[in-house]
Structure 1
């Protein structure tokens, strides 16, 4: 409005100025015309007058315009102040409205048009479970109960399509109450969600409860109208206020309203008075009464409940039930007379688990006196009495067994159990729940039958298990040539499946299945002829079959009673192969033994003789008789002698090991003075230890005594151990040799201070040609030690660490005074 007023006023001023300018132009044009007409004498005066007039008019117009503009400016300022105040008021009202709209207890959804996206204003409390995101809010099924969400979706569709307003109360999934209002204004659809609290929430809950009760009442009335039981409801004055269709039909009224208006009664007056006198608020009236319906007297079971608002009742037609009950009583009496003549014990208990009927067989079975049975004892009482008298099976948990036995009264299906009584009898107990309540117990004596079945089943099971666990393949055929049984060994030997040899399969089919494993079908053809033969005397058959798979089978065809035939197959493959392998190995071993002996004897001479010559000639070269050697020649000769001695030692070690492996080493046992023996070893190793720069410390008791062993081999053991220790011991260190006697055993150990042997290789130190020392070598020392110690029936142990060095301990038992030959 302000902008329109301000733009219109300048337009008015422009029009006024235009009119003034038009007047000036008109006066000027008139003067010029006047001069043109010839009034030249008065031209100067007229021009001045006109000029003055124009100036005066212009001044007057300017003054008028200034005054007018000043007034208009004042008015505009007043209007602007008014408009500014109005805008401020409007902004305050908008802020208040926005504050009201954005409260956390309500949310408004606005649709501008049918195809426009909705606009969301405000929010609902978090306890309602309403989503915060706009896109999830309209998915009502996620946070509103199903029935309320469906009703709300339908109401919103009618609001947007047909502008139908609505007011709903909805339940959220969290149990909160939300009021929803739908309106249309200015072409827009508004839906407001308001979270109710306190009294409004209680009122809304009451409305919901009223709707639910009304719905339930309508459904209940519809259900009662569909039943065939007369149902009625009375007020506090005893008059009818509602009846169902069955009641209307019973009283022969045209409509329900007519039955209520005329007060047509279903029951006679005496019966109604009896109901009124007998019914209470706590216990409803219940009795079987008679009434006339459509001219016929019927028997009804009437139930009438008294309430603060009156009473309600229904009647169940039990006329047919009463007839059936009488017929049942007659039938049960007939059955009781029949059961009493049976030899099978039978007992019938009523719904209270008390004895209702028993026959003479039941009394004889449990040896119960008539007086006890006549007072109708409880079923549990009878079980307890029988247990006390030792007539029931012993149970680990009597209470649990008793409860399980009596559970038949609540069971649907028949319960069957076997009772093994202490007197040796076996009973098959069948307990069946009765339709009218209670249970029937039948005790069938299965002692003889169970005994026969047990022995038969045991025999069959033992035979089956025995056959199945035999290593021999077994199959049994009938006289018709069809297989009766086979064990897993049979199927495995012939490479057939269980389905291919299932009972009832003909031998021809089995012959084809086994043909792949057998070069010739003559074997199975002979089996078929023997099995299906009609000869009175069926001969047995035995032989050997060799299959393509390499199996060698020993078979037997054995006639059985009832014209049956058994085939057995024994796998002889391993024994035959072992026999063949043993023969071949024995021949190979004999040949290898001969070759080894020849090799050892030949190498012993061929290797030792040249080395002995080399060592001898080297020693001769050192003597002055053959001339004086230069220092370099002498050094070379020493190297030759040292290398030859080392080579001779290696050859001797190899030959020793070869002779041990060949089993031709003989221990020459003799008594050894251990003290002298240790001095001998120390003297022999003196030069070797001096070369390595180490000393030998012998720790032994003064009296070690004598010991029976091979002197030469024992000396080799000590020399090898001390030499190995000298190879790894640091220069200037000491090698410790400790000796002791433990009973008849001689125990000695050699310990050095070397770098030790890594734990990952310590298990292989006794392997041949394994060298772990810093000086290398052939790696035969410890192998020879272990061989000679084992030859003496002793043992070797090694212990090593990187900080403490290595210690080898040997234990030798005292040998007998005889020669011991090394075993192969």
Structure 2
């Protein structure tokens, strides 16, 4: 406005000068005569004066304009100073460490960031890192902030947020729009505002948690309720509503439908305290069924809350479990395998009788539920556990099963020679079950089996017999060197798995007739329930004679054995020939003995008869020498006749044709008859006979003549060896159906090495008064055996000899002698 005014004044000045010059020109026209100056001079003067006036006016104007410009400049400098002060004040305000502003221009552009936040908030100083909100702001706050910034820039929707940093600091964030720009202010709150923000966040967290827990309780299948301070229902879950048959939880609260009875509620109200919640089992009716619930009720200043857990099924299961555990305990107690169960505290909770017998521990100690560590120490002190170089490490290894997931199995070799398989199984709920399986017999059998297998392998390999074992598929399992040597085949040809067809082809060279091996193949691979054995003989082309045997084995296996019988066959032929010759010789001998015996008996009978006749007075007297000779002839003839009779008896026994003539024999008469018949012989030997037998022994069914021969032979033998003037004892007694006869003398006795041969034929002892053929005791043994009895002899050198015969009473009327 001022500039316009000054220009206007300059125009007026120019107009005035122009008017003054025009007036001068007009005056010159009016006064053409008598003028002092010419027109050119007047014009020049006017121009000069006008120029001077214009210059003066311009100078004056310029001076005024300069003053105006100086005043305006001074005013601008003052405004600029005020603006700078105002900018400094704003910059100081923006540069506050408790505030940071992010500015976005309209459209896509890089944001401008002003200010700083305290380092304790965890906000990065770097702009790029600052904008990565998820790295320094908690996840839920970062998501909410980014969503607010997006709506602020796109829709201009302002927001106010309270966010939490990773360092648990609280920031207030404001989003605003101004002048087409989006501003987001991050403000670090002061104490009161921070506390208020924290309370706000805590409130939101608590409300969220309460809603979450309420949703969780509402999803439970167990009834849950909340009562106010007056005891009225304030909230229930769906399970509560279903239990009281309400259409919704709200209806149950509105109508105050109680889940528990009045008495139960009164008990809860009386028993529950803020420091001691109510916890007990209560029975109530749900949907018409009596149900057992485990009720927990907690009391607080604002009321109470409770929950009911249905334990009806659990109680039934617990009772069933108790019955099952009792049954299992009774079952385990009757097991022969020792069992012990320890709880999670490693204390003994169960043991059976086999466990007590195994470790021989006192029942009082076991009933005290000892610690497993203590139990191991006690067993070690009693020398019942295996000796260990490092007892502590071994014990820790044993007890490590309580921390293990898998079953542990170990073998303990006890000092008493037992071997135990110790199986320790950890329980999922804690504790361990220990089972002690006695493997002593198994280990012993296994050792013996392995030893037997090795011995059998060595034995089979060193057998002279050829052995080959085939499986049910006809393939060889094993063979020994003798088998390969007999058939002239190699070890490669008989390696395990070779089929019998291949072995048959390899053996065909040695055996012209393949029928035998084909028969072996059929027997090895047949499917008969009963597999027969087979025996026979092979004769190879080489002249070797083999005896074979096909022997079924367990597991459908078959063993073939081959024995080289070449030498045996030759020896057998020779023996058969010799046996035939001996048989014929024996027949000749028997014929000779019988013939000679019968032929000798007649002359001997005549000699004895004529000798006795010579002794009669009717023939005439004999002188002393003649009488002595006749006695010698008579004695020798009697001995010879006895020998002939004995030989005939033995020949009859050997031929199996001797028959016993059974009859009832009175034992008293038998003993008296024997004593009378042997009296002369006893007088000749100057010995006495003592009979020891109870009277009235009764009778026995036997051959009387053979019994007399047995006793006379025994007494004669004893008299031959008894010292002169000694006594021979004949004893007899009865035991049931058996009658015993015993003849004892106090002669020189029989040496121990001679005793086994005393019953042999023609075995005569030395030292007797009269030598004989040595057939007496052999005949005694033969006759006793014919009576189904037995005879034994007991003799000690220098003491004497005792011969005892047992004769059973015969059941049959006749008995034929055994061959």
- What TM-score, normalized by structure 1, do the two folds share? 0.50
From the CA coordinates, give the structure whose radius of gyration is larger.
2
Q: Normalising by structure 2, what TM-score?
A: 0.50
